[in-house]
Amino acid sequence: MRRHEFQPGRLIAGLVLVTAGVFYLLDSTGRADLPWFAIIPMTLGGLSLAALVGLVTYAVRRDRRDRITESSDR
């Protein structure tokens, strides 16, 4: 299997969605009483953080790739 590059934005998005799912599962079983307006902002905040991390990761990799191609062109 080929190795793939690490994408921290997707990792954060997955962890946030799994956490929200666990909270909903706990709420549906009656073990926790969580209002919907507590889960939705947490999920949206986590997905926003994941998007920000993904953009920063993309910018850093693009800059690094551009520097490598500039040094090889000389």
Task: Answer yes or no: are the C-beta atoms of 13 and 47 closer than 8 Å.
Answer: yes
Residue 9 in any domain: the answer is: no
In a domain, 59, yes or no: yes
In a domain, 47, yes or no: yes
| Residue 29, pLDDT above cutoff 80 | yes
Q: Tokens standing for 67?
A: 């520097």
The pLDDT, as a whole number, for residue 64 is 78
Question: Looking at the 3D structure of the chain, how many domains does it have?
Answer: 1
Q: How confident is the model at residue 74 (pLDDT cuts 50, 70, 90)?
A: low
Q: Which domain holds residue 42?
A: 36-74
Please check whether residue 60 lies inside any domain of the structure. yes
- 63 in any annotated domain: yes
Q: Does residue 48 fall inside a structural domain?
A: yes
- Whether 39 contacts 16, CB under 8 Å: no
One-letter amino acid of 38 = A
Contact 53, 12 (CB under 8 A): yes
User: What pTM did the predictor assign?
Assistant: 0.81
| Inside any domain, residue 10 | no
The rounded distance, in Å, linking the Cα atoms of 12 and 17 is 9
Q: Is 34 helix (H, G, I), strand (E, B) or coil?
A: coil
